[in-house]
Amino acid sequence: MRGFVPPDPESSASGYHYAVVYVPRRSRNRFAANCVEIKDSAEQAVADADPAGKRYAARVMGPSKSSEGQYIYYLAEWLEDW
């Protein structure tokens, strides 16, 4: 994936998580941390998703600090087929 910072294998600061992401369009592949709600499992993310409210279940990687100083998450995959 172009433009993402890979996780450090010797640290747990950044990694893969299941989440519900608020996003106006699913064409984006990175999200501000305040738009990401981390969940314990894929099942919980799917259950808490609300497509009508633009809240989608996803597997994300992060957090990572952007060049603008914001914390962001990167999309690994959408979970709509779970």
Model confidence over 47-65: pLDDT tens digits?
Answer: 999 999 999 999 999 998 8
pLDDT at 5: 56
Amino acid identity, position 47: A
Q: What are phi and psi of 65, to 5 degrees?
A: -95, 125
For residue 81, pLDDT over 80 is answered with no
Model confidence over 6-25: pLDDT tens digits?
Answer: 555 555 567 899 999 999 98
pLDDT at 57: 97
Write down the pTM of the prediction: 0.81
